[in-house]
């Protein structure tokens, strides 16, 4: 089995990376960064997000494992003092895994070009200079006219991230779907929205058609694209979302129960 290591630049992550490499070499496992079977991330959820996008063309053959070297993350199951136990699990690996859905994004621009992205956590669209106005279509039917700060579209596993901070619901990661949450919507006689998060099923297509060409910012996980309509430059017309045919796979040596993680992160010592 070939092991890849993807770490952040913190001193602790560098220390753990060296220990892990030494243990991998000692046990005879192959260290391969280009075509690994398992990618071990060392850092936090942000590091795993970066690794996900780094290996996005190999998702069908890679399983991820996360070691957290700071605060407890939602994607990182192992602690920095458990290297020996993790390597033992790698040696005894039998291909076990757990997988979660991803989000396909297709952005259409004024010059006719289309760009495609895949999100593990979420995508957002905002206007950074004024209120964002867009038409929201569900399965090609106009649903509402949105006016507000922006919109957040998240996966089930991403529902505990930015989506939660803007009032979205937490989704069970075993469900297959995605979610739309509003950012400070304005409701009046002209613009009227549902005013609550919407959870879509596996076959739903969501499309956001922008009414203004200027100063939008679109994100896909941690990547941010500023779409300023300067003279001679293209601008964003619409973005569509649906559940991706691809999934992310985690090596299930010891995968922490999602709801226990939610409780530990947001509730603490409730009895």
The per-residue b/e assignment along 228-244, b for 16 or more CB within 10 angstroms, e otherwise, is eeeeeeebbeebbbbbb
Distance of alpha carbon 56 from alpha carbon 65, whole angstroms: 15
Distance of alpha carbon 99 from alpha carbon 66, whole angstroms: 14
Instruction: Annotate 173-217 with DSSP letters as a single string.
Output: TTS--EEEEEEEE--SSS-----S-EEE-TT--EEEEES--SSEE
Of the candidates 183, 170, 168, the one whose C-alpha atom is nearest the C-alpha of residue 127 is 183
Distance of alpha carbon 137 from alpha carbon 208, whole angstroms: 6
The token duo for 91 is: 């040696």
Contact 75, 247 (CB under 8 A): no
Q: Which residues are registered as beta bridge partners of 247?
A: 101
Of the candidates 237, 259, 215, the one whose C-alpha atom is nearest the C-alpha of residue 109 is 237
Active site (catalytic) residues: 45
Torsion, CA 63, CA 261, CA 47, CA 1, rounded to 10: -20
Contact 106, 55 (CB under 8 A): no
């Amino acid at each position: 089995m070939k092991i890849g290591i993807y770490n952040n630049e913190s001193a602790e992550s560098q220390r753990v990376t060296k220990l892990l490499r030494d243990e991998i070499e000692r046990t005879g496992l192959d260290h391969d960064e280009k075509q690994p079977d398992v990618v071990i991330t060392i850092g936090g959820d942000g590091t795993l997000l970066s690794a996900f996008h780094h290996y996005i063309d190999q998702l069908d053959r890679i399983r991820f494992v996360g070691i957290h070297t700071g605060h407890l993350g939602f994607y990182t199951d192992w602690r920095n003092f458990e290297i020996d136990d993790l390597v033992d699990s790698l040696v005894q690996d039998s291909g076990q895994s757990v997988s979660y859905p991803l989000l396909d994004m297709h952005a259409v621009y004024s010059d006719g070009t289309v760009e495609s992205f895949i999100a593990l956590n979420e995508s957002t669209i905002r206007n950074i200079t004024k209120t964002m106005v867009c038409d929201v279509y569900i399965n090609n039917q106009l649903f509402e006219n949105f006016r507000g700060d922006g919109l957040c579209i998240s996966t089930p596993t991403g529902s505990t991230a930015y989506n939660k901070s803007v009032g979205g619901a937490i989704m069970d990661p075993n469900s297959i779907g995605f979610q739309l949450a509003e950012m400070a919507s304005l409701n009046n006689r002209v613009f009227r929205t549902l005013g609550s998060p919407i959870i879509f099923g596996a076959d739903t297509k969501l499309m956001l058609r922008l009414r203004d060409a200027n100063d939008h910012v679109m994100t896909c996980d941690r990547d941010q694209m500023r779409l300023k309509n300067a003279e001679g430059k293209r601008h964003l017309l619409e973005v569509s979302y649906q559940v991706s045919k691809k999934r992310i796979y985690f090596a299930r040596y010891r995968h922490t129960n999602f709801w226990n993680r939610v409780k530990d992160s947001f509730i603490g010592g409730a009895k």
